[in-house]
Structure 1
């Protein structure tokens, strides 16, 4: 069923140039969170720029604890496990 993707990526809520990062519980025990990239054309297995957005949101919202100067965040994606290293300073 593709209705959720169409609902969040088509007008009037979005447009063809936008994407949605759907945060989900990870299926892997070694991941902090999971996410799926939804775009107007399809669901994508991975996107580097979307990964940066997800890591930033997880850290700044407190969903994943931040530790300075670097925090490692593990993301479960349809493309596999992504390990991101975020440079952290002054709570950002």
Structure 2
């Protein structure tokens, strides 16, 4: 796939999550929002790596990593047993 096309798709993926959150369709802690950030920022980070664009790699790599950490935290909390007695 062409680098320009992948850049646009990555940016649109991140922006779609952001717009959805701003319009109240989702929240910044939702699985969909975080997944969009991981995929979009991850693609942009990979492109930054291949073009040796270190500042952009830092931005998108951290954006993707923080989103992945938040998603893992949310998914683990969902699987944790309910601490309240029945």
Establish whether TM, by shorter chain, passes 0.5.
Answer: no
TM (norm. structure 2) is: 0.30
TM (norm. structure 1) is: 0.29
Q: Which has the higher contact order (CA 8 A, sep 6+)?
A: 2
Q: Which has the larger strand fraction?
A: 1
Q: Which has the larger radius of gyration?
A: 2
Q: Which has the larger helix fraction?
A: 2
